Structure 1
Amino acid sequence: MKVLQWTSGNTLTFLENGEEFFPRVFELIDRARSSVSIETFIVADDEVGQRLQQLLIAAARRGVSTQLVMDGYGSAPLPPEYVTAMTDAGVVVRWFDPRPPLLGVRTNMFRRLHRKLVVLDDETAFIGGINFTIEHLRKFGALSKQDYAVEVRGPVVAQVAQAMAAPPPARRFPGKRLWQRLSSALIPEEAGEGARAVLLLRDNQEHPQDIEWMYRVGIRAARREIVIANAYFFPGYRLLRDLRKAAKRGVAVHLILQGRPDMPSVRWLAGTLYDYLLRGGVRIHEYCERPLHAKVAVIDGTWATVGSSNLDPLSLFLNLEANLMVEDEGFAAEVGRHLHRLIQGQCRDLVAPKAGPSTLIRNAIGFGAFHVLRRLPGLVGWLPAHADERTLLQGAEAAVPPVAGAP
């Protein structure tokens, strides 16, 4: 059995930030004839969220099947009247894991529906990392986020629609060795015109490691260049080792990471890995213009990914995530141009620190933090970290206490 089903004949449009993403999504919701389905981590009661609400209500009233699924942690601050206005108009609203606090603590903070997916009329899909909030528009100011999404038409839209229609079955892959599964995953079923693409999911049943595996496959196969832009970077040792090995065999490895993070601890944690990577020949560029929220990569100008998955323990071991993987030179070249523009004009390049007591102490602290955080999913396993996703979706009547979300 093949792990992944590649499709041919897809048409892709790369979208940067809310300025490109929101107008296109809203235009197609306004024109929808049969169905609108949205899955997202955060919907905010601001001008972006209010416009989304208005368009969904209008679509439902003209007879379009309309569904909005939100995460019970990320979208918890929404006022009840925001949701009621939609359900009264016929919009189906569902929450993922709207768990009440336990002794004042939100236990669902480690288990999130982090995917950002949109399907319209079963013809067009959007996959990326952009939430429905003004924070993804430059007008928000210095803390507005830098992020990306992709609009796609073609056979892969059916994969997105299927992923949103029903939770995955509670089973895992058959017991093949990792690289046997991945080598078959890289071979498209058929060659054809247009871009080849496949939707990758991460969940706790059938697809627990798909996204990380495909990153590793791409890194191991790279011959010329790897460019990864990732907001929350704290992957496992194997992926870090693959990056160093790629650099040592002459591949230009570029990491674009946060230089002005929305959470200061993010830069510190990623920084504990810098010495290991820099001394191995990996080039690290800190994006300094505003918070980086991207989860994109391009390899050898032929392979690219855009999606919701960070390279950190939450995304790789706990959250529900979705990335689109693409094999197409034209699309990969466009993604590469955007990322190199960030490197050249909006990043500062880091250099390996000189060896000394402070470096040794920092590396020792980083080693400890790395192993603690990499085991975080197991430590919080008593929370709903490994629950069957089918039990976590609830209707709009579920109460969601206010709590601040995190992107």
Structure 2
Amino acid sequence: MDSGGRWVGGNRIALLENGEEFFPRVFDAIREAKREVIIETFILFEDKVGLALHAAMRAAAQRGVKIDVLVDGFGSPDLSREYIEGLTSVGVRMRVFDPGKRILGQRLNVFRRMHRKIVVVDGELAFVGGINYSADHLMDFGPKAKQDYAVELRGPIVAQIHQFVLRAIALGDKGPRWFRRRLKRAPPVEREAVGETEAIFVSRDNRRHTNDIERHYLAAIRAARQRIVIANAYFFPGYRLIKELRRAARRGVDVRLILQGEPDMPIVKTAASMLYHHLLHAGVRIFEYCDRPLHAKIALMDDQWSTVGSSNLDPLSLSLNLEANVIARDRAFNQLMWERMDRLMRESCKQIGEADLESGWSGWRLVRSFFIFHFLRWYPSWLGWLPRQVPRLTPAEVVALAERREQREKNSQKNGKDAVTPTEVA
């Protein structure tokens, strides 16, 4: 699937921080849509955010807007039949990426997830980032509310993103061949320049674009001469990224990492902290964000290059999941990103120093460092051996019906009577 792969000028980009800025803009865009809305998201929960999205989509569909929604089967497993039918009954096409069955109540379809977060409205406006549709992206959720970012885009880059999401639907559906052939041949609709931002849309998949996002990170790190700031929720990158960050710090670049200090999953901090010695000794500065869980996937290099998207710097995002980032070359946007990150580091982070590390070079630490080093060096190749997942999209109403049937079959076995009706089987 083509992910653009070329710089496009003439765009306008805006940074959206947390759900307070992101959700109102997306919901307003859906309400104002004239022809089409396409949404891809890893998580859609049936909470106040999910219900607000539901209402906005229903209203748009009822006035004739074509709406397509793609959610991930692992990330969004608990949508009710009523929620789904409330959308499909007014013409919303809702699909689930790889809806795996639960075994002993556990979701086992962990690998190669559809982790992208994209919205395209009328082929003219796009949102790309790391924010899911769930209430834990709002401050009033409490101490576990996530800190995260997305971008709003207008201009020629939106045509690339629009073509990308259309192809994702066509390929996943394995729909009519004539439609897929026409889509492949059709060039993106040219959009007028509306700003000064150069942008590139980059995706990671399990076919042609297996390491595109990582390659852009590596190129930007190698080119950096002044500063590198990376804020990343799940940080356990491959050997090449660690090596280039160390090299950058040693040649005098101000390299800063903003990582989780109050993680949503404790193993995240444990994994990242295993790299602290290796990074600090090369001059990399590490800041742990301590206000609440950090969910960001953003970075800036020098005074122009910036990226916002869904891709973490960990094994899942770099080697398995389907991801999407926008990279921008824009001094004003880069400066805004720097001001937000600088404020985060000054007001909400703890800088990690030598005193915070384990003292002494014990035999266990030497052994552990050896294995971590080689794991980081080779894990992309190892994970590449896992079966390549062909995108499989299933209509959400089919998934909901299958789950309901399965639950009723379980209940009937407990009660000793058949609770599945012929209508439901059909």
TM-score range, shorter chain: 0.7 to 0.9
Task: Pick from 312, 328, 332 the counterpart of residue 330 of structure 1.
Answer: 332
Relative to structure 1, is the Cα distance of residues 76 and 203 closer, same or farther in structure 2, using a 3 angstrom cutoff?
same
Relative to structure 1, is the Cα distance of residues 397 and 382 closer, same or farther in structure 2, using a 3 angstrom cutoff?
farther
Task: Pick from 363, 367, 388 the counterpart of residue 364 of structure 1.
Answer: 367
- The answer to whether structure 1 residue 397 and structure 2 residue 367 are counterparts is no
Task: Pick from 226, 229, 232 the counterpart of residue 231 of structure 2.
Answer: 229
CA deviation after TM superposition for structure 1 residue 247, in Å = 0.4
State the AA in 2 paired with 1:11.
R
Superposed, 1:2-13 pairs within 5 Å as 4-13=5-14
Relative to structure 1, is the Cα distance of residues 107 and 62 closer, same or farther in structure 2, using a 3 angstrom cutoff?
same
Contact 1:98/1:398 (<8 A) preserved: no
For residue 307 of structure 1, what is the aligned residue in structure 2?
A: 309
For residue 49 of structure 2, what is the aligned residue in structure 1?
A: 48
Secondary structure in structure 2 of the residue aligned to 1:166: helix
- The answer to whether structure 1 residue 135 and structure 2 residue 136 are counterparts is yes
Contact 1:313/1:373 (<8 A) preserved: no
CA deviation after TM superposition for structure 1 residue 273, in Å = 0.5
Deviations along 1:323-371, one digit per CA (max 9) or x if unpaired, are 000011011111111111111111001113465145x524533543565
Relative to structure 1, is the Cα distance of residues 118 and 240 closer, same or farther in structure 2, using a 3 angstrom cutoff?
same
CA deviation after TM superposition for structure 1 residue 379, in Å = 6.1
TM-score, normalised via structure 2 length: 0.84
Secondary structure in structure 2 of the residue aligned to 1:51: helix
- The answer to whether structure 1 residue 86 and structure 2 residue 87 are counterparts is yes
Who wins on radius of gyration, i.e. which is larger? Answer: 2
Contact 1:169/1:205 (<8 A) preserved: no
Relative to structure 1, is the Cα distance of residues 354 and 57 closer, same or farther in structure 2, using a 3 angstrom cutoff?
closer
Contact 1:230/1:294 (<8 A) preserved: yes
Contact 2:81/2:397 (<8 A) preserved: no
Secondary structure in structure 1 of the residue aligned to 2:52: helix
Deviations along 1:2-58, one digit per CA (max 9) or x if unpaired, are 982111000011010000000111111111111111000000010000000011111
Relative to structure 1, is the Cα distance of residues 90 and 277 closer, same or farther in structure 2, using a 3 angstrom cutoff?
same
Contact 2:319/2:384 (<8 A) preserved: no
Relative to structure 1, is the Cα distance of residues 312 and 363 closer, same or farther in structure 2, using a 3 angstrom cutoff?
farther
Superposed, 1:163-174 pairs within 5 Å as 163-167=164-168
Counterparts of 1:318 and 1:338, CA distance in 2: 30
Deviations along 1:143-193, one digit per CA (max 9) or x if unpaired, are 0000000000001101111111113989xxxxxxxxxxxxxxxxxxxx996
Counterparts of 1:150 and 1:399, CA distance in 2: 31
CA deviation after TM superposition for structure 1 residue 107, in Å = 3.4
Contact 2:238/2:378 (<8 A) preserved: no
State the AA in 2 paired with 1:66.
I
Q: Is there any run of 5+ residues in structure 2 with no aligned partner, and where? A: 173-192, 405-426
Superposed, 1:343-358 pairs within 5 Å as 343-352=345-354, 353=357, 355-358=359-362
CA deviation after TM superposition for structure 1 residue 372, in Å = 5.0
Secondary structure in structure 1 of the residue aligned to 2:398: coil
Identity among equivalent pairs (%): 51
Secondary structure in structure 1 of the residue aligned to 2:116: coil
Greater CA drift, 148-157 or 365-374: 365-374
Counterparts of 1:206 and 1:2, CA distance in 2: 9
Secondary structure in structure 2 of the residue aligned to 1:63: coil
Matched length? 378
Counterparts of 1:94 and 1:134, CA distance in 2: 22
Contact 2:18/2:137 (<8 A) preserved: yes
Greater CA drift, 4-13 or 104-113: 104-113
Counterparts of 1:2 and 1:111, CA distance in 2: 18
Deviations along 1:291-334, one digit per CA (max 9) or x if unpaired, are 00000001101100000000000000000000000011011111
Counterparts of 2:256 and 2:195, CA distance in 1: 31
Secondary structure in structure 1 of the residue aligned to 2:99: coil
For residue 62 of structure 2, what is the aligned residue in structure 1?
A: 61
- The answer to which structure, 1 or 2, has the higher relative contact order (CA under 8 A, 6+ apart) is 1
Secondary structure in structure 2 of the residue aligned to 1:291: coil
Contact 2:120/2:126 (<8 A) preserved: yes
Q: Is there any run of 5+ residues in structure 1 with no aligned partner, and where? A: 171-190, 403-407
Secondary structure in structure 2 of the residue aligned to 1:280: coil
Relative to structure 1, is the Cα distance of residues 332 and 60 closer, same or farther in structure 2, using a 3 angstrom cutoff?
same
Q: RMSD of the alignment, in Å?
A: 2.4
Greater CA drift, 347-356 or 326-335: 347-356
Contact 2:228/2:253 (<8 A) preserved: yes
TM-score, normalised via structure 1 length: 0.87
